[in-house]
Amino acid sequence: MPKRDYYEVLGVGRDCGPEDLKKAYRRLAMQYHPDRNQGDKQAEERFKEVGEAYTCLSDPQKRQRYDAFGHAGDGMPDMGGFSFDSAFDLFDMFFGGGRRGRARSGPQRGSDLRMNLEITLREAVFGSNRTVEVPRADTCPECSGSGAEPGTSPVQCPQCNGSGQVRRAVQSIFGQVVNVTACSRCRGEGRIVERPCRSCRGQGRVEIRKTIEVQIPAGVDEDVQVRVAGEGEAGPRGGPRGDLYLAFRIENHPHFTRRGQELIYELPVSVAQAVLGDRITVPTIDGEHILDLAAGTQDGRVIRISGMGVPHVRSGRRGDQLCVVRVVIPTHLNSKERKLYEQLEGRTGRPAEVRKGFFDHLKEALRG
Ligand SMILES: [Zn+2]
Ligand SMILES: [Zn+2]
């Protein structure tokens, strides 16, 4: 089912301020709270949806990203793990209700993992496949995650007769309601292990170092996170895996400095090349590129090579390379060179005023 727009979920406008957001959340969370809508699956879903929408929109950073990218993929990695538990926690935070034991439905999901990868600028531009080693909790191979010693199996919990739930009448802010809580004996799992597996001590999980292949998309930057679904930690007793999130640090490159989607290169030229013009070979991240330097090129001029920059991580459209001309003044002259410069001196007169500095050139190029 496609996710509904968060503003629509809360019934507020796009310019809604924090106070109105709170009010909208309060009203809807009260209306759809499961204690008030016993067994109503739709209300339950709405309760979670309202919590998720509020969690996103009440955080200025998340809201900004949501406004820019919507629910699209890795634009919103943080909302991936929003669960019913998160919705209840938010509600309890708002209304000050103590956290009550709640029945979990099915096995618990494993935690998400985060990992930092050091990558080269080339990898950031073209993407790559990497083999990484992830230290994580994995399903125990001895008992296949059941937690029971091989040859035995978990038995039905005698306290809840396998339902994992205990029903109890309690006072809540809605008056007396029947509260369904997780069975304390089996912790909601409905089954108990009589003889725990020796290799995982009944946990169903063991710590391992897992080698996996990950794909680094072209265009990633240090503020982009990539989600690798289902490569996080295994849940206890055979629960589903969490996700793995990759963050990146990009190594410095000897030639290029990255600025968003642009690659900046300082292009050294001799005095004669700058004066007379020349055809020169320039490095790009794709390989060599031939550039025609115009006669009379000033120091600091910026020459744009289009399409040789960093691709946009979503659209794949590539930025440009900017070559900043650096006229290199010779410091050691042989006698012949010295003579030639001496001949020039006195004939050319004083140079005209400097009209533009390096920063003006760069600003102009970045605007263009
Ligand atoms: Zn085991
Ligand atoms: Zn039980």
pLDDT tens profile 84-123 = 778 887 887 777 654 444 444 556 788 999 999 999 999 9
How many Å lie between the centroid of ligand 2 and the Cα of residue 202? 16
How many Å lie between the centroid of ligand 1 and the Cα of residue 361? 66
How many Å lie between the centroid of ligand 2 and the Cα of residue 48? 26
How many Å lie between the centroid of ligand 2 and the Cα of residue 192? 8
Both tokens of 346, joined, read 């006195």
How many Å lie between the centroid of ligand 2 and the Cα of residue 114? 33
Domains recognised in the chain with CATH numbers: 1-99 (1.10.287.110), 106-141+204-251 (2.60.260.20), 256-367 (2.60.260.20)
Mean predicted confidence (pLDDT) in 310-336: 94
| Predicted local confidence at residue 77, as pLDDT | 47
How many Å lie between the centroid of ligand 2 and the Cα of residue 184? 6
The pTM (predicted TM-score) of the whole model is 0.60
**Token pair 């709270």 in the structure block, residue:** 33
Mean predicted confidence (pLDDT) in 271-294: 96
Question: Rg for the chain (alpha carbons), in Å?
Answer: 31
- Counting ligands in written order, which one lies closest to the CA of residue 166? 2
In this structure, are residues 206 and 199 in contact, taking their beta carbons and an 8 Å threshold? yes
β-strands 262-270, 256-259 pairing:
antiparallel
pLDDT tens profile 217-250 = 999 999 888 999 999 999 877 788 999 999 999 9
pLDDT bracket for residue 1 (50, 70, 90): low
| Predicted local confidence at residue 176, as pLDDT | 75
How many Å lie between the centroid of ligand 1 and the Cα of residue 136? 15
Q: DSSP per residue over 204-264, as a string?
A: SEEEEEEEEEEEE-TT--TT--EEETT-SPPPGGGPPP--EEEEEEEPP-SSEEEETTEEE
